[in-house]
Amino acid sequence: MGSKTQDDIADIFSMSEAGIFPSYKEPFGMVFLECLACGTPVIGARSGGPVEFVKDELGALIPEDEDWRNETGARRLGERLANMISLSLVSNWKGMSKGKNCVPYVEKNYSTIAQCENMLKNMKEWSKPGKEVPEEEEEESESYSLALADGRRVKMCGEDDVAVTISLVEEFQEAAKLAIKAKDAFSVALPGGTVVQSLDKVPKKKVDWTKVHVFFVHERIGEYKVHKNAMKSFINKFKIPEENVHKVGEGSPEEAAAAYEALLRGQPRNIVGISPGGIPSVDFMLLGPGEDGNAGRLEPDKDQIKATGQGKVVLPIPDDGGKASVTASMDFICAAKRVVLCAPSEKRSRMVCRALQKGGFDCPASMVQAKKTLWLVDQESIKDWKEWRETEPAEPEPAEPVEESPLAQYASFWDLPGIKKGVITGDAAWTLLEYAKFKGFAIPAFNCTSTSTVNAVLEAGKQLNRPVIVQFSEGGSAFFAGKSLPNSVKQASVLGAVAGAHYVRSVAPAYGIPVLVHSDHCAKKLLPWFDGMLDFDEAFFRYKGEPLFSSHMLDLSEEPHEENISICKKYLERMAKVNLILEMEIGITGGVEDGVDNSGVAKDKLYSTPEEVWQVHEALSPISEKFTIAAAFGNVHGVYKPGNVVLRPELLGEFQKHASEQLGGVSKPLMFVFHGGSGSEKHLIDEARSHGVVKMNIDTDTQWAYWEGILKFYGTNSNFLQAQIGNPDGADKPNKNYYDPRKWVREAEVSMCKRVVESCTDLQNVN
């Protein structure tokens, strides 16, 4: 754009052109379109869209339509439009000189008005500049895509293998970007043949190639043609580090297969995961099935394909055309997070027809069914199958079709959109809680009062490779900042909570797990603390596009029911603007917690009713979906003798049933939180989980665990802790190695860490 400032550019291309929004400065959710001539962002800077989306290099332009307000949908739409822009504009923009020609060209051909009109009408692919495309021609040129009943997808990519290549590049690029963002690594398994050559069309700058790890679907021992082909067509071009290329070793086929399986299983879990069945799981597996329907070197009706279901990973082939080979098993193929099968050309049409009808050992490609399985075909290679579909009588539809949750496609929480190492917020945090409910586990939340207790929680999460929640109470927050600070208007509590949140944000990525940061029980008298934290959330959002915290809890259960809901509504309206999650309490949790004494409350107040819970959902759901309910079912803070506390987790099931009836049969529509979890019996925890508990608070048990670590250390070393000098080893021997806080505080952390692991295990928050 030459010397033009971002403000000038934004003025030219603001949404106010279309009369939809009053100013480009309003948070309407616009993203960047990068000029392919000079690399300058055409649309600028002030956007309220999802934070991952607002980047110069994404190259996509969309207004945030109501249907695309969630982060996943916006990203998916943006990537689609980015590909459209790249394909349709690259040839026209490449030859333009820097600066002076860019603005007039965009104004003439791609004004915001024109793009909005096209997109908001039908979101069809834009025609190329200067060319009118009749509707019927445009309809025929669109990709033909469908989902089979068994979950496999088929995409007919046009009339030739060029279109198949474009689709393969898009799939690879998307998978790599999501994996690297989520876990800082992307693993791909490559076959032999020409299909690998298509990957050299991936734009170099769209993938961090230092994070890509290459494995091989099959290989001939001694010849290593698959490895050599990949080096020539793919690896060398993108300068993938040598240590990231995992070649099949020497030896007999049995030795090579065993060694390669050990190599796969020995990879860090962020590179090669483990499926629920215990099989190594790569992020992306590419296959180019031949006319006989082979998959890798799994040939029709051979011993290797018949080993399917035996839990094998890499199989030896003693005689593969006179050579010894190894190949990925079907179990290993299907354990991949994403498998793409490329089958262009008319010669493969009959094979595709057989494979899509779900054959068996006679067509190994038909047995490929990973979590995400995509066939990329052209018109010729799919013609037999299309004819078969037209002549085959349609299967009768089930009387009551069951809609599978979209969360079923994710094998692990690491696969969820937006999940990363470190603090997660907004859509990513909410999707994780939804996934917990779907999978039947809950994430424990631990009250922390210092960096030491935070470290103990994060250490346990790292040991388990599981998400955890760090939460700060009002009193704990004040202690975090320093107990000596004045706190008349909760200023020390605000400071401590904010400092704690920043500390977690600073260190959590090093522990390699997703972490939610939460503030615990805020009663009405503590609202200045709540308001102060929200002020910091809003300031953080203005600069980072996300709140400082993941969620906050309002505990107004002591107030009248109507007032509780009314205040929660007011705060949720404010929180929704910065994508925060609200936790609210209805009914009273007994006992004493952080200075709030409910030990004398009437017992009937310890149990919520279905009607009360529904009233909360009815009031809050129109504002935002992001709220959880700490409904009372006999919960009590602290630890008490058996029989003194009567937990009734079956009430949570009644609450879910009542809400489901009001919503037309939606399964478990409510998200529950279990307060007063310390000391609870495991079978009661299990029942609570089964009714939609996604978070459970732990404080008393971890307080004791932290102290117990110090107590045991003192008990073992008391003779060395009576003076600075002098112990059983000698009157002049120093004791510094015993009274150094790093010694006994560390013992407290280790003890607390063990208790955190125990809580995660109780809640099935384990791999």
Q: 520 catalytic, yes or no?
A: yes
CA distances 661 to 623, 656, 666, Å, are: 21, 9, 8
Count Cβ atoms below 10 Å from residue 706 Cβ, excluding itself: 24
State which of 2-6, 276-280, 467-471, 598-602 shows the largest mean pLDDT.
467-471
Q: What is the pTM of this model?
A: 0.52
Q: Does 668 lie in the same domain as 539?
A: yes
Higher pLDDT, 660 or 114: 660
Is the pLDDT reported for residue 140 higher than 90? no
Q: Are residues 116 and 150 in the same domain?
A: no
| Selected residue with higher pLDDT from 112 and 28 | 112
Q: Which residue has the higher pLDDT, 276 or 397?
A: 276
> Given this model, what pLDDT does residue 708 score?
97
State how many domains the chain has. Answer: 3
- If you average pLDDT over residues 468-478, what whole number do you get? 98
On whether both 112 and 250 belong to a single domain, the answer is no
Residue 712's pLDDT band, with cuts at 50, 70 and 90, is very high
Above 80 in pLDDT, residue 397? no
From the list 283, 378, 415, 520, the catalytic residue is 520
Torsion angle, alpha carbons of 588, 594, 599, 605, to 10? 0
| Average confidence (pLDDT) over 605-625 | 91
Q: Say whether both 530 and 445 belong to one domain.
A: yes
Are residues 162 and 20 part of one domain?
no
Nearest to 329 by CA among 360, 298, 364: 298
Q: How confident is the model at residue 121 (pLDDT cuts 50, 70, 90)?
A: very low
pLDDT exceeds 80 at position 285: yes
Report the amino acid identity of residue 296: G
Query: From CA 271, how far away is CA 289, in angstroms rounded?
Result: 26
CATH number of the domain that residue 675 is part of: 3.20.20.70
Residue with tokens 């009233």: 615
pLDDT at residue 385 tops 80 = no
The DSSP result for 392-442, as a single string, is: SPPPPPPSS--PPPGGGG-SSGGGSTT--SEE--HHHHHHHHHHHHHHT--
Which pLDDT band, with edges at 50, 70 and 90, does 319 fall under?
confident
**Interval 680-702 mean pLDDT:** 90
Q: Is residue 505 part of a domain?
A: yes
Structure confidence at residue 123 (pLDDT):
37
pLDDT for the residue numbered 443: 98
| More confidently predicted of 250 and 641 | 250
Residue 184 resides in a domain: yes
Say if residue 693 is in the same domain as residue 651.
yes
What CATH number corresponds to the domain at position 155? 3.40.50.1360
At 174, list the tokens.
């998307």
Over pLDDT 90: what percentage of the chain? 50
The more confidently predicted of residues 306 and 748 is 748
Q: Model confidence at 531, in pLDDT bands (50, 70, 90)?
A: very high
What digits encode the pLDDT tens for the residues 18-29?
A: 333 333 333 333
> What's the confidence (pLDDT) of residue 389?
60
Distances (CA, A) of 502 to 239, 483, 517: 37, 19, 10
pLDDT band of residue 697 (cuts 50, 70, 90) is very high
Tell whether 140 is covered by a domain: no
Confidence of residue 400 (pLDDT cuts 50, 70, 90): very low
Judge if 93 and 47 occupy the same domain: yes
What is the CATH classification number for the domain harbouring 112?
A: 3.40.50.2000
Asked if residue 601 and residue 523 are part of one domain, the reply reads yes
What pLDDT score was predicted for residue 387? 65
pLDDT at residue 392 in the model: 53
Same domain, 257 and 327: yes
- What pLDDT is stored for residue 53 in this prediction? 33
Q: Read off the tokens for 173.
A: 């690029």
User: Is the domain of 513 the same as that of 657?
Assistant: yes
Q: 205 pLDDT band (50/70/90 cuts)?
A: confident
pLDDT at 447 over 60: yes
Query: pLDDT tens across 409-432, in order?
Result: 888 999 998 999 999 999 999 999
Mean pLDDT calculated for residue range 484-498: 97
Residue 398 has pLDDT above 50, yes or no: no
Question: Which has the higher per-residue pLDDT, 296 or 588?
Answer: 296
CB contact set of 285 (below 8 Å; sequence gap of 6+): 188, 189, 217, 328, 333, 336, 338, 339, 340, 370
Predicted pLDDT of residue 603:
59
Task: Judge whether 14 lies within some domain.
Answer: yes
| 736 falls within a domain | no
**Which tens digit of pLDDT belongs to each residue from 72-109?**
665 665 665 555 444 444 433 334 444 445 555 555 44
pLDDT exceeds 70 at position 528: yes
Domain that holds residue 285: 145-388
Work out the pLDDT band at 58, boundaries 50, 70, 90: very low
Assign 50 a pLDDT band (cuts: 50, 70, 90).
Answer: very low
Distance of alpha carbon 234 from alpha carbon 357, whole angstroms: 33
Question: DSSP 3-state assignment of 296?
Answer: coil
Q: What span, in angstroms and rounded, lies between the C-alpha atoms of 677 and 649?
A: 12
pLDDT score for 252: 92
Does residue 137 or residue 566 have the better pLDDT? 566
The string of DSSP codes covering 338-376 is: -EEEE--SGGGHHHHHHHHT---TT-GGGG---SSEEEE
pLDDT at 644 over 90: no
526 has a pLDDT exceeding 90: yes
Q: Check pLDDT > 90 for residue 571.
A: yes
Per-residue pLDDT, 99:
43
Has residue 728 been placed in a domain? no
Question: pLDDT at position 345, please?
Answer: 67
**336 and 190 belong to one structural domain:** yes
Binned at pLDDT 50, 70 and 90, residue 683 comes out as: confident
Phi and psi of 628, rounded to 5°? -120, 160
- Arithmetic mean of pLDDT, 613-624: 95
Nearest Cα residue to 215 out of 252, 249, 177: 249
Q: How far is CA 652 from its chain centroid? A: 27
Judged against a pLDDT cut of 80, whether residue 40 lies above it is answered with no
Q: Are 233 and 90 part of one and the same domain? A: no
Write down the pLDDT at residue 293.
81
pLDDT at 347: 67
Hey, which of 27-41, 83-97, 276-290, 729-743 has the most confident mean pLDDT? 729-743
Across the range 380-407, mean pLDDT stands at 58
Asked if residue 194 belongs to a domain, the reply is yes
Using pLDDT thresholds of 50, 70 and 90, give the confidence band for residue 359: low
Domain boundary among the residues 346, 370, 388 is at 388
Residue 75 lies in a domain: yes
- Whole-number mean pLDDT of the chain? 79
